[in-house]
Amino acid sequence: MAFAPQDPRIPDPSDPVINEGRVDYVPTPISVTRARRHATRLISEWGHPALADDTALIVSELATNALRHGHVPGRLFRVELTLTKTRLRIAVSDPRGERLPRPRRPSPRDKHGRGLLIVRALAHRWGVRERTAARRSGPSWT
């Protein structure tokens, strides 16, 4: 699968969306596992099982960051997958817009801090943008 050179946040009329999936999660550790499994299942169902491992790793790293660094009580984090003919967009967002993620340079002794470096290595491009956060509003959760 080739990737479009344009900004993936802007819809391209010549590259229409084929499939989309979006789920809001309660910020708990089990939600990272659920998000990873859901993303893997979706991308396989959409006919791209070869992308499932990288998708799982990217979702896992970004969802973990949303949980650790973007948690706000009563607010959810969101995982979105969008498939077009030329690209797969993976977006994980959290309600902490004032705290944008940036890759760091961990020392060899650091136990954390490599997630965005992993995402950068696997993704064609990555970026950050603000979004309005979802509020917890009902008893049904994925």
Lowest mean pLDDT among 22-31, 33-42, 114-123: 114-123
Average pLDDT over residues 21-35: 95
Average pLDDT over residues 26-55: 95
Contact 86, 17 (CB under 8 A): no
The dihedrals phi and psi of 12, each to the nearest 5 degrees, come to: -105, 115
Angular region, 47: left φ>0, alpha ψ -120 to 50, beta rest: left
d(CA 53, CA 11): 26
pTM of structure = 0.71
Tell me the C-alpha to C-alpha distance, in Å, between residue 72 and each of 4, 12, 51, 95, 97: 34, 33, 31, 7, 11
Higher pLDDT, 20 or 109: 20
